[in-house]
Structure 1
Amino acid sequence: MAAGSRKPTLHDVAKRAGVSVASVSNYLNDYPYMKPATRERIQKAIDELDYVTNQQARNLRSGRTGLISLSLPDLNQIYFAELAEETIKQAREYGYRVIIESTGNDRQREIDSARAMASNMTDGLILSPTQLRAEDVHELEGDYPLVVLGERLFGAPAPHVMIANESAAQAVTEHLLKAGCRTIAVVGGTLDSSLPSSRSMRTKGYVAALADHGRPLRPELVRETGEWTSAEGAKAVRDMYAQGIRPDGIFALNDLLAMGVISQLREMRVRVPESVRVVGFDDIDEAKYTIPTMTTVDPDRAQVAKLAIESILKQLDDGARAPQSRIDVAFQLKYRASSPQV
């Protein structure tokens, strides 16, 4: 450290190394035409003065901040909170930190997340949009590293990491059919496929499985909900029973919905899984502790985070945005007590 408690400056480094301030600036910006001996003197001065930490010096020389932006729709949703934790964990493996923003499922905030990259405050953006439209694609153009997550298929000019919504939902439905279920309801689903979403893609997998097994689609079994919460899951069950619908299998499109379904069935003294099998989606940590424990889809959040971070860092190393591509992540059906494997 320089005299007293004052933080050392660029001038202090230059004086200690016996070079000009311009030379120090060139070194920090990785100027290619510099004698090795000069580079060594400047780095020695930086280390002796503790001008910046070694990691900060590397960041300055490469033009990197050591930060990655992660923009998620709703941190109140456990899936996204756990995805954020996985992303932080994966980034830490490479010496990076993550700045997290919740857009609240708001289109303008999603656009603002992309526009903020123009300020170069972070090295790249991992964006999970739910409201962006095809006409918003130009908002994602640029030379900064970008990875898109989620189901919003609108031709984003970047790698798009996707979980297996459709095939996983198809596997869940086939599991329930194989278990002997004849009246399978989908809680949180929609038959409106005009916009790609988790709702529409998972419902599409359900419909495909029914068709493959020669089962007719009964629209009244596709129960739309507002938010994907436990309260909405419980309400869907109450409404079905009030309308005389008695499913023997329920596929809830996320685990919070499934928790509400199970809770409401227990309150009505309907036995799970003896009378109704229940399957969720996301494999959040609480799924292992429900009563009964919950069968659910594990979409492999760790792999989603790993692929996203690795893509951002590769784009940084390549010095260019990666081209548009789709990266599918495998899923696993975790069998537990709410719908045992057959």
Structure 2
Amino acid sequence: MAGARLKDVAEHAGVSIKTVSNVVRGNVRVAEHTRQRVLNAVEELDYRPNASARHLRTGRSGVIALAVPELVQPYFAELAAAVIEAARAHDVSVLIEDTGGDPAAELRVACGLSDPLVDGVLLSPQRLDQATLARRDRRVPLVLLGERDYEVPADHVLIDNVRAAHDATAHLLARGRRRVAAIGFQSDPHFTTSQQRARGYLEALEEAGTAHDPRLTPLVPAFTRTDGQAAMRALLALPEPPDAVFCFSDLLASGAVRAVYDAGRTVPGDVAVIGFDDIEETHFSVPSLSTVAPDKRQLARLAVDALLARTAGDPEAPHTTLHAAHRLVVRESTA
């Protein structure tokens, strides 16, 4: 049936229009046999939900956008899954955008130009500067994710990166390690995540009365396994190599562990290693990786709830900064 409507599907399946709507939107509270009957009708009639019509009727499409720098990065993939789960609880769909960290792409998403029907945007910016973001068209509600320091009219959800990095470094010092290196320092001022984790690392050293040795904090271009491996190789080549390393991401830590083993040394025997993000592979690596675990589900819930509250309420209401929890997960790499 060309141009089948919700009403047509309901009549074909012998159910109410509300039931069809619940099934199409993924509402799990529909009985399985009813859901299957509706899905069969949807397929037979070749029904396609009309988001434009819904937008005109209600003022909202039931779709939000999530934009991240690199979806291929495990942390962002896991965060996206958590956002989809949180949105599903509100019968909302999520459009995923990969900006590649390009400031023009980030601004385009922030202005709602990637899809004119989205009700709002969750954005994890990497290079978008504050001045440019402040000039954006504010008709589309925006919630920022991540550690960038912005003073703009938008809600912001993040974890305390400084405290989290401090906790990871303090954990290594408490294990009796004395030459604690850090992999993740960057010179680019846009990478606030690196700056904040560096600050937490340095604060923990100072608190323990340990002097900072700049040779133990090599710069890296990005948070990848390859960069972690290269930085660890350089550290092991020092006359006095480190006995512990705090890596600003689990991918950096994975590369660092590989370099330690390539050098004929052991983790944690010769070098204790801790990462950041608690991505899934940390549970299964050998040794399993100690890490800082941001509460991704809480972060996602806070972000989705803040965005939906903004779309349903006063767009000019005071904006807030919300903090998700983090915890230290101790595994074999520092045991």
TM-score range, shorter chain: 0.7 to 0.9
Compared CA separation, residues 294 and 174, structure 1 to 2 (3 A): same
TM-score, with structure 1 as normaliser = 0.80
Could you tell me how far apart the structure 2 residues matched to 1:271 and 1:80 are?
Answer: 30
Q: Which amino acid aligns with 1:318?
A: G
Matched, 1:106 2:102: yes
Structure-2 separation of matches of 1:7 and 1:233: 54
Residues 137 and 157, structure 1, Cα contact 8 Å, conserved in 2: no
1:1-342 equivalences under 5 Å are 5-7=1-3, 60-117=56-113, 120-190=116-186, 194-195=189-190, 197-340=192-335
CA RMSD of aligned residues (A): 2.6
**Which amino acid counterpart does residue 249 of structure 1 have in structure 2?**
A
Deviations along 1:8-38, whole A, 9 cap, x unmatched?
A: 68xx9xxxxxxxxxxxxxxxxxxxxxxxxxx
Q: Please tell me whether the aligned partners of residues 54 and 61 of structure 2 are also in contact (alpha carbons under 8 angstroms).
A: no
Name the CA distance, whole Å, in 1 between partners of 2:299 and 2:228. Answer: 27
Would you identify which runs of 4 or more consecutive aligned residues in structure 1 move more than 4 Å? 51-60, 192-196
Q: CA deviation at 1:319?
A: 4.3
Q: Deviations over 1:219-252 (max 9, x none)?
A: 1111211121111111111112223241111001
Shift of 1:120: 3.5
- Unaligned 5+ segments in structure 1 are 13-50
In the alignment, the residues of structure 2 paired with residue 56 and residue 93 of structure 1 have an alpha-carbon distance, to the nearest angstrom, of 22
Displacement of 1:77 after TM fit? 1.2
Do the aligned partners of residues 104 and 6 (structure 1) sit closer, same or farther apart at CA in structure 2, a change above 3 Å counting? closer
The residue matched to 1:297 in structure 2 has which SS? strand
One-letter code of the match for 1:96?
A: V
Q: Output the amino acid matched with 1:184.
A: V
Deviation at 1:312, TM superposition (A): 1.1
Structure 1 residues 138-159: Cα deviation after superposition (integer angstroms, max 9, x where no partner)? 3434132210011221212111
The alignment of Structure 1 onto Structure 2 pairs a total of residues equal to 297
Measured after TM superposition, the shift of residue 7 of structure 1 is 3.0
Q: Taking every aligned residue pair, what percent have the same amino acid on both sides?
A: 37
Q: Judge which range, 132-141 or 154-163, deviates more.
A: 132-141
Q: Structure 2 vs 1, CA of residues 89 and 211 (structure 1 numbering), >3 Å: closer, same or farther? A: same
- The range that moved more, 325-334 or 139-148, is 139-148
TM-score calculated relative to the size of structure 2: 0.82
Counterparts of 1:143 and 1:239 in 2: how far apart (Å)? 49
Report if aligned partners of 1:159, 1:326 keep a CA contact under 8 Å in 2: yes
Matched residue type, 2:101: N
Q: Distance in 1 between matches of 2:299 and 2:272?
A: 29
Gaps of 5+ in 2: 9-46
Rg larger in structure:
1
The change in CA–CA distance for 1:283 and 1:80 in structure 2 (over 3 A counts) is same
Q: 1:328 to 1:193 in 2, by over 3 A?
A: farther
d(CA) in 2 for partners of 1:150, 1:216: 30
